[in-house]
Structure 1
């Protein structure tokens, strides 16, 4: 009998961005206190000689992956779509020693979760699957990614 269990760890980071070509306020550089929930799925380890006995994945192992791939990269950075004239603004900020991230997508919450899913999946152990991501941009707005909808 298999017991698939979902494990979720939550993260937070501060990131600035601007949406080039957008028809509202978010075309301006601004920031969010993002909250990211990462849910993985797997079976608890049944080998009672394993130090991780009873765990799907050690929360600290999941924390290390997400911190290295996402939090440390995006926290206190400003994200711009490098395929827009914002690349000039990015260069100016970089020249002034600002932490700038140039991505090849529009840095909306929707596109960020797609990027995050790719990055996290490559780092997970073989027996652990990424189940879902939830990226909360504001108190009332978030984007979600689910593995079963993205085969």
Structure 2
């Protein structure tokens, strides 16, 4: 009998994480090595959103995260030449900060996503290499 039982277990903060992949090409500027040449990756993007579960027990619906990432990232970058899409060198480090900022801005404008924060974005460039930015680093930088 769900109606008689609480739908939320406890009101502790919870992280919700969803992963995505997209394919894109790029080349690195001011770099000596193979990556200075045009090449591509199957990027894996990991998005973590943190908040307190609502009365139903949900922090944010996974479908809302999917729609957000599709709109902000995948429609813009999947099967594209990244150097044409952004005005900076397309290192994993630069890209992950940019993606964090864009996703955080879009999340703040999503009415269903109240009382949640974009906690972390991780961008895998290869199966063994990733760059990551965390909310605490952004907050620390903004207060310096």
- TM-score (structure 2 length as normaliser): 0.83
Distance 1:102 1:148 in 2: 27
Per-residue deviation, 1:123: 1.6
Distance 1:31 1:60 in 2: 28
1:111 to 94, 110, 128: 94
After superposing on structure 2, the runs of 4+ consecutive aligned residues of structure 1 that deviate more than 2 Å are: none
Higher normalized helix content (fraction of residues) = 2
After superposition, the C-alpha distances for 1:88-139 in whole angstroms (9 at most, x for unaligned) are xxxxxxxxxxxxx331211111110111011111121341100001111011
Per-residue deviation, 1:17: 0.3
2:21 to 7, 12, 20: 12
Q: Which runs of 5+ in 2 are unaligned?
A: 1-9, 108-112, 140-144
1:63 to 63, 66, 80: 66
2:44 to 35, 38, 42: 35
1:102 aligns with 2:105: no
Q: How many residues align?
A: 125
1:144 aligns with 2:132: yes
